[in-house]
């Protein structure tokens, strides 16, 4: 019988590793090895992309209705296998079950969203020419798929940030090759195996495995690259894509601020901050990473938040839903988290709860609340990406807005204020791709809204019309409405009489006032 490893190797784009090299995937909760995965060499990536490229024209040709049917079958397969997929996701990431289950939930919702909305977002757009002389043409914009979309994904939401982006790319008529993070490839590999072997869908979705070399090769072979990951790697990917003039969409890091005004409902703000800062062990690009609180309510808010963070249970909860915060997924990230907390501690911040790694096997960092921080500290300036919430006192809303905008990042943000109008006034001044008034993270769930970053948080956006149009080239069409003569007046040969006529015509159209139009 075929082993699980062999089955997964089959789902890799080319079936067999050309290098013979492998990497291990670990359980973050105790550090043990789950599985060894074969690395795809650049040659293997090229061969795999060529294979799915060959299947892409037929996929494009079946149209939205045909592609919709396959995506619906994938949705039904995910539903039928959800428990198993959630468990595997939990195993390779160290998430609590509630967080692990978000990945399948997202895919189900996103499939339904893109199969319904995709055809509308990509419908031909009729353009009325500005020049009346051109109205004898039908002019339209047609959205056509790039061909092969390469997706390079991080480890924090291994399926949402890979298959989640593949869904609109596929619906648009592309073939897709995904390179998941080497820390967390297993659930995605299993889902792509499900697509090809159990759903029996066309050969237009594949996985390549490995690290930077594999990712770089995928950039070289793709017609469009969707990258989600760190700012540092995003720049490397964009530079590499420049060699082949391949367009990219970059979803990078964040340092999301949350502002609490003196008029806010502090209980709601504290609940939201604890959840938005600690969900997925704080490993979300749109985690709450900095909190600014107006002076009159600072002490009360900090005490409320301290109680919430202390109440959070951390552990490996299997499928019991008995913990809120899980393990860290990446040992390298735990080092960064620890460094930021120690930097703040050394600079005089107060660690109110947490503030250290847990002893024992696995990779665990305690839910941590830090008060009395300032902008000289790393924890307020660099992406922490862990279960750490730093809170800073500000004298008023103006200072809060200034500090919120004092960041090289601009991904998400939140404002808690006494009423929606006050909240919206502040939100409109925040330099970020999104702002949630009296809420956290929720913009990600509104799939009709673009989700993308300003400044160093990225280029482009997933979700909304942009989220599917980015996977298409536009083609401008002009088509005659009326019978045509043998030549147009502006074509060769030129003569004084014809050019005089053209000049008078352009004058008549573009001048204002009858006398000017007639040249009198």
Q: Which residues are catalytic?
A: 251, 285
What's the min distance (Å) between Cβ of 313 and ligand NAD?
25
CA separation for the pair 257, 290 (Å, rounded): 5
Nearest distance from C-beta of residue 422 to ligand NAD, angstroms? 28
**Taking CB under 6 A as the rule, does residue 453 contact ligand NAD?**
yes
Query: Is 195 a binder of ligand NAD (CB under 6 A)?
Result: no
DSSP letters for 289-330: EEEEEEHHHHHHHHHHHHHHHHH--BS--TTS---SB---S-
Q: Is 156 in the site for ligand NAD (CB under 6 A)?
A: yes
Task: Annotate 435-463 with DSSP letters as a single string.
Answer: -EET-SSGGGG-TTS-B--EETTEES-BS
Asked if residue 395 has a cis previous peptide bond (ω within 30° of 0), the answer is: no
What's the rounded Cα separation, in Å, for the pair 344 and 48?
47
CB crowding 174-197: b at 16 or more within 10 Å, else e: bbbbbbbbbbbbbbbbbbbbbbbe
Residue 153 C-beta: closest distance to ligand NAD, Å: 5
What token pair was written down for 345?
A: 């501690």
Please say which residue, 296 or 460, places its beta carbon nearer to ligand NAD.
460
| 95 forms part of the interface with ligand NAD (CB under 6 A) | no
Q: Tell me how far, at minimum, the Cβ of 466 lies from ligand NAD, in Å.
A: 14
Q: Count residues near ligand NAD (CB under 6 A).
A: 31
> For ligand NAD, which residue of 129, 212, 331, 418 counts as binding (CB under 6 A)?
212
Binders of ligand NAD in range 157-186 (CB under 6 A): 161, 179, 181-182
Candidates 18-26, 70-78, 148-156, 256-264 — which segment interacts with ligand NAD by CB under 6 A? 148-156
- Residues 404-443 touching ligand NAD, rule: CB under 6 A, are 411
289 near ligand NAD, rule: CB under 6 A? no
Site for ligand NAD in 226-285 (CB under 6 A): 228-230, 233, 236-237, 251-254, 285
Output phi, psi for 160, to 5 deg.
-55, -40
CB of 393 to ligand NAD, least distance (A): 26
Member of 94, 164, 215, 277 binding ligand NAD (CB under 6 A): 215
Minimum CB separation from ligand NAD for residue 444, in Å? Answer: 9
Q: Which two tokens stand for residue 57?
A: 């024209």
d(C-alpha 194, C-alpha 196), whole Å:
6
What binding mask, one character per residue, do residues 454-493 give for ligand NAD by CB under 6 A, x or -?
A: ----x-----------------------------------
Q: Which C-beta is closer to ligand NAD: that of 26 or that of 179?
A: 179
Task: Out of 164, 216, 326, 386, name the contact with ligand NAD by CB under 6 A.
Answer: 216
Query: How far is 468 from 171, CA to CA, in rounded Å?
Result: 8
Classify residue 132 as exposed, middle or buried by CB count within 10 Å of its CB (0-12, 13-18, 19+).
exposed
- Residue 85: partners with Cβ closer than 8 Å, 6 or more residues away: 78, 103, 104, 187, 190, 191
Closest distance of CB 475 from ligand NAD, Å: 29
Least spacing, CB of residue 411 vs ligand NAD, in Å = 6
Torsion, Cα 415 160 321 279, to 10 degrees, reads: -30
When CB distances to ligand NAD are compared, the closest residue is 215
Burial of 439 by CB count in 10 Å (0-12 exposed, 13-18 middle, 19+ buried)? middle
181 or 413: CB nearest ligand NAD:
181
Nearer to ligand NAD, 222 or 261 (CB): 222
**CA atoms of 6 and 224, how far apart (whole Å):** 30
Binding window for ligand NAD (CB under 6 A); candidates: 88-96, 213-221, 424-432, 497-505: 213-221
Alpha carbon of residue 309 to chain centroid: 27
Which residue shows structure tokens 């013979």? 20
Best CA proximity match to 367, nearest among 321, 304, 318, 312: 312
Binding positions for ligand NAD, rule: CB under 6 A: 152-156, 161, 179, 181-182, 211-212, 215-216, 219, 228-230, 233, 236-237, 251-254, 285, 330, 383, 385, 411, 453, 458
């Amino acid at each position: 019988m075929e082993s699980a490893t062999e089955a997964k190797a089959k789902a890799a784009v080319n079936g067999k590793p050309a290098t013979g090299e492998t990497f291990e995937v670990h359980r973050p909760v105790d550090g043990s090895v789950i599985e060894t995965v074969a690395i795809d060499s650049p040659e293997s990536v090229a061969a795999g992309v060529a294979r799915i490229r060959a299947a892409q024209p037929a996929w494009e040709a079946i149209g939205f209705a045909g592609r919709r049917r396959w995506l619906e079958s994938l949705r039904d397969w995910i539903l039928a296998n959800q428990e198993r997929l959630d468990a595997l996701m939990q195993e390779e990431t160290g998430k609590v079950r509630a967080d692990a289950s978000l990945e399948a939930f997202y895919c189900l919702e996103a499939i339904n969203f893109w199969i319904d909305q995709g055809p509308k977002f990509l419908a031909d757009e009729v353009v009325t020419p500005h020049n009346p002389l051109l109205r004898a043409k039908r002019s339209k914009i047609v959205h056509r798929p790039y061909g092969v979309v390469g997706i390079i994904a991080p480890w924090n939401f291994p399926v949402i940030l890979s298959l989640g982006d593949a869904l609109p790319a596929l619906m648009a008529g592309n073939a897709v090759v995904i390179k998941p993070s080497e820390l967390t490839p297993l659930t995605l590999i299993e889902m792509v195996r499900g697509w090809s072997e159990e759903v029996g869908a066309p050969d237009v979705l594949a996985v390549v495995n490995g690290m930077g070399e594999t990712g770089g090769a995928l950039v070289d072979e793709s017609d469009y690259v969707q990258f989600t990951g760190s700012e540092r790697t995003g720049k490397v990917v964009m530079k590499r894509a420049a060699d082949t003039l391949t367009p990219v969409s970059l979803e990078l890091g964040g340092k999301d601020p949350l502002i609490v005004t003196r008029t806010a409902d502090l209980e709601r703000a504290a609940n939201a901050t604890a959840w938005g800062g600690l969900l997925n062990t704080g490993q979300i690009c749109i985690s709450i990473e900095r909190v600014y609180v107006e002076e009159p309510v600072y002490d009360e808010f900090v005490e409320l938040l301290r109680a919430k963070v202390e109440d959070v249970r951390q552990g490996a909860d299997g499928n019991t839903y008995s913990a809120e915060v899980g393990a860290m997924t990446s040992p390298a990230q735990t080092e960064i988290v620890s460094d930021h907390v120690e930097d703040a501690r050394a600079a005089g911040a107060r660690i109110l709860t947490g503030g250290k790694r847990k002893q024992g096997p696995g990779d665990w960092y305690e839910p941590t609340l830090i008060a009395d921080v300032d902008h000289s500290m790393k924890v307020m300036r660099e992406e922490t990406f862990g279960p750490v919430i730093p809170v800073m006192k500000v004298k008023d809303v103006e200072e809060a807005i200034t500090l919120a905008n004092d960041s090289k990042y601009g991904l998400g943000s939140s404002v808690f204020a006494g009423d929606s109008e006050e909240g919206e006034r502040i939100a409109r001044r925040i330099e970020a791709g999104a702002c949630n008034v009296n809420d956290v993270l929720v913009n990600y769930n509104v799939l009709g809204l673009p989700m993308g970053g300003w400044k160093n948080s990225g280029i482009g956006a997933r979700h909304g019309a942009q989220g599917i149009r980015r996977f298409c080239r536009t083609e401008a069409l002009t088509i005659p409405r009326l019978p045509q003569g043998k030549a147009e007046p502006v074509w060769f040969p030129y003569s004084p009489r014809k050019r005089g006529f053209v000049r008078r015509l352009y004058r008549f159209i573009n001048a204002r006032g009858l006398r000017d139009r007639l040249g009198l």
